[in-house]
Structure 1
Amino acid sequence: MTPLQILAAAQNGTPAPRIPVFCNLLDQGAREMGLRPQSYFADGAAVAEAQLRMQRRYGQDNVWSLHYVGKEAEILGCKEILFAHDGVPNVADFVIKSLDDIAKFEIPADITQTEAWQPIGECLSILADEVGATHPICAYATASTTLPAILMGMDKWMELFLLGPFDLRDELLRKCSDFFHQEIAALRAAGANVLIYSTPFGSPYFVGRRQVEAGVLPWMRRDLVPGGVEGIVYYCGMAPFNEVIDLVFAELGITTHYLGPLADLADAKVLIGNRGLCCGVIDDIRMIHWTPEQTRLEVQRIIEIGKPGGHFLFGNGVMPLAVPEANIRAMLAAAFEYGNWQ
C-alpha cells in the first residue's frame, strides 16, 4: 500500500500493514539544500526538492508545502520577514499597526497572483507531480481567529478579540475568513491533500471552552463551510483540546485530530473512537535533549496507547533544527517498528 492508502485506511478503520507515520521537517530544508534560509524559502523548487530528499532519506509518509507561517502575512502585505540560521522565520513588519489600519486592510482579489504565493504554488506543483498519487502532501492554513496574531501581534489581537471594539474585531475576522476561503481553495487546486487547519484559539487552553463555543466556533464554521472539511486536520498549535473534540465532530464535522504532546492520548482515543483519526504527537522540543534510546522509548509509549483499535497516526510537531539527526532516525525507526500490524 502507498502512504496515501495507509493514511486512508487509518481514517476509515480498514486493514493496512502499519499505522501512518508523519515527520514534519520544515526548517531543515535550507540546510539540506545548502542555502541561506532567505534564499531557500524564496525558491519553491528548492523547498520541494528538499522535501523529496528528506522523505527518501528518512522514509516518513508525508511531505510539506509550508514554507513558514509568515508567508500568509506576506501575501497580505507584510514587507519584512526576519530570517535566522537556527530558527523559524518570523514576521518583522506588522500589516496592521493600529486599529485604524483595519478599515484600510484589503484581501487580494486573487492571492495566487501575488508575488508571495508563487514559491508555494511552484512547490506544490512539483510535489503533486512527483508524489501526489502516493503520498500525503501537507499544507497549512491559519484560521480566521488566529491569523490576526501575525498581522498585528498577539498582544494587540488578544486585546481586540476579548475587549473590542467588537465592530472592528468582526470586520477584521470577516476579512481573514475571506482570505482563508481563497487560500484553502488554492492549496487544494495546487495539489495539497492534507490541509492543516491551524486554530490555536480552538483550544480551551487559550481562551476557555465558553469562549471557544461563543466566540471562535462561529468563525470556524464560516471558514470551513464553503469548501467543506475533506482532508482537513484540526490542529491547535500543540495546545491540548480534548475538551472540545466532541464539539468539533458535532459542529464542524472534522474527523482528524492532531493532538499536542500535553494532551491525554488515552482520553482522546476514547473520545474519538472509530469516528475518525487520532494523531498521537511526540514532544519534539524535549527531543532536543533526549538520547536516541529515550526517543525510542517515548515513541513506544505513545504507540502502545494509541494503536489498539486502529484509527491512529503517529507524528511530531514542527521538528526544531536543534534536534539531533540520530533522534529523528530513532523516532522514525521506532514508529515503523511499533506501528506495524503484521
Structure 2
Amino acid sequence: MTPLEILGAAINGTPAPRIPIFCNLLDQGPKLLGMPARDYFSQGEYVAEAQLKLLERYGHDNVWSLHYVGKEAELLGCNDILFADDGVPNVADFVIKHLDDIAKLEVPADITRHPAWQAVADCMSVLRREVGNTHPICAYITASTTLPSMLMGMDKWMELFLLGPFDLRDELLRKCSDFVQQHIAALRAVGANVLVYSTPFGSPQFVSKKMIESLVLPWMKRDLQGGATDDLVYYCGMSPFNEVIDMVFDELSIKTFYISPLADLPEAKRLIDTRGLTCGVIDDIKMIHWTPEQTREEVKRILDIGKPGGHFLFGTGVVSLAVPEANIRAMLDAAHLYGSLR
C-alpha cells in the first residue's frame, strides 16, 4: 500500500500493514540544499526538492507545501519577512499598525493572482507531479481567529479580541474568514490532500471553553462553510484540546485530531474512538535532549496507547533544527517497528 492508502485505511478503519507516520520537517530545507533561507524560500521548486529529499532520506509518509506561516500575511499585504538561517521566517512588519488600518485591509479578489502565491503554486506543482498519487501532501491554514496575530501582533490582537471595539474586531474577523475560505479552495485546487487547520484559539488552554463555544466556534464554522471536511486536521499547535473534541465533531464535522503531547492521549483516544483519526504526537522539543533510546521508548509508549483499535496516526510537531539526526532516525525506525499491524 502507498502511504496515501495507509492514511486512508487508518481513517476508515480498514486493514493496512502499518499505521501512518507523519514527520514534519519544515526548517531543514535550506541547510539540506546548502543555501540561505531567503534564497531557499524564494522559489517553490526549492522547497519541493527539499521535501522530496527528506522523504527519501527518512522514509516517513508526508510532504509539506508550507513555506512559512508568514506567507499568509504576505498574501494580505505584508512586505517584510525576517529570514534567519537558524530559525523560522517571521513577519517583520505588521499590516495593521493602528485600528484604523482594519478598514483599509483588503482581501485580494483572487489570492492565486498575488505574486506571493506563485512560490506555493510552483511547490505544489512539483509535489503533485512526483508524489501526488502516493503520499499525503500537507498544507497549512491559519484559522480566522488566529490570523490577525500575524497582521497586528498577538498582544494587540488579544486586546482587540477580548476588549474591543467589537465592531472592529468582527470586521477584521470577517475579512480574515473571507481569506481563509479562499485559501482552502486554492490549496485544494493545486493538489493539497491534507489541510492542517491551525486554530490555537480552539484550545481551552488558550481561551475558555465557554468563549470557544460562543465566539470562536462560529468563526470556525464560517471559515469552513460549504466545503468538505474529510481532508481537514484539527490542530491547536501544541496546546491540548480534549475538552472540545466532542464539540468539534458535532459542530465542525472534522474527524482528524492532532493531539498535543501535553494532552492526555488515552483520554483523547477514548473520546475519538472509531469516529475519527487520533494523531498521537511526540514531544519533539524534549527530543532535543533525549538519547535515541529514550526516543524509541517514547514512540513505543505512544503506539502502545494508540494502536489498539486502529484509527491512529503517529506524528511530530515541527521538528526543530536542534533535534539530533540520530533521534529523528531512532523515532522513525521505532514508529515503523512498533507501528506494524502485521
Relative to the length of structure 2, the TM-score reads: 0.99
CA–CA distance in structure 2, aligned partners of residues 95 and 335 of structure 1: 42
3-state SS of paired residue (2:205)? helix
Aligned to 1:59: 59
**Aligned residue number for residue 95 of structure 1:** 95
Give the corresponding residue for 2:201.
Answer: 201
Instruction: Please say if 1:180 is aligned against 2:196.
Output: no
Which AA in structure 2 matches 1:146?
Answer: T
Query: 2:200 matched to 1:225?
Result: no
Aligned to 2:318: 318
Q: Distance in 1 between matches of 2:275 and 2:142?
A: 25
* Contact 2:9–2:15 under 8 Å retained in 1: yes
What does the per-residue CA deviation read over 1:88-110, in whole Å, with 9 as the maximum and x for residues that have no partner? 11111000001000000000111
1:112 Cα deviation from its structure 2 partner: 0.6
Is the CA contact 1:181–1:226 (under 8 Å) kept in the aligned structure 2? no
After TM superposition, list the pairs within 5 Å mapping 1:48-87 onto structure 2: 48-87=48-87
Please give the per-residue CA displacement for 1:226-267, whole angstroms capped at 9, x wherever unaligned: 222130000001100000000000000000000111010000
State whether residues 20 and 313 of structure 1, in contact with CA within 8 Å, keep that contact through their aligned partners in structure 2.
yes
Gaps (5+ residues) in structure 1?
none
**CA–CA separation in structure 2 for the residues paired with 1:125 and 1:214:** 40
Matched letter for residue 173 of structure 2:
L
The 3-state SS of whatever aligns with 2:233 is: strand
> 2:5 is matched with which residue?
5
Distance 1:271 1:305 in 2: 13
Q: Report the residue type matching 1:89 in the other structure.
A: P
2:195 is paired with a residue whose SS is strand
* 2:255 is the alignment partner of 1:249: no
| Secondary structure in 2 matching 1:233 | strand
Name the structure 2 match of 1:44. 44
The answer (yes or no) to whether the contact 1:278–1:312 under 8 Å persists in 2 is: yes
Mapped partners of 1:114, 1:324: distance in 2: 38
Partner of 1:236: 236
In the alignment, is the contact (CA less than 8 A) between 2:139 and 2:195 conserved in 1?
yes
Alpha-carbon distance in 2 for matches of 1:88, 1:261: 21
| Equivalence for 2:261 | 261
The aligned length equals 342
Q: Which whole-Å deviations, capped at 9, do the CAs of 1:159-210 have from their partners, x for residues lacking one?
A: 1001110000000000000000110000000000000000000011100100
Which residue type is aligned with residue 336 of structure 2?
F
Aligned match of 1:148: 148
Identity %: 73
| 1:24-56 deviation line (CA, Å, top 9, x unaligned) | 000101111111001001110010010001001
Give 1:84 deviation, angstroms: 1.1
1:110 aligns with 2:88: no
Which whole-Å CA distance do the structure 2 matches of 1:306 and 1:228 have between them? 26
Q: Look up the match of 1:213.
A: 213
3-state SS of 2:278 partner: strand
RMSD across aligned positions (CA)? 0.6
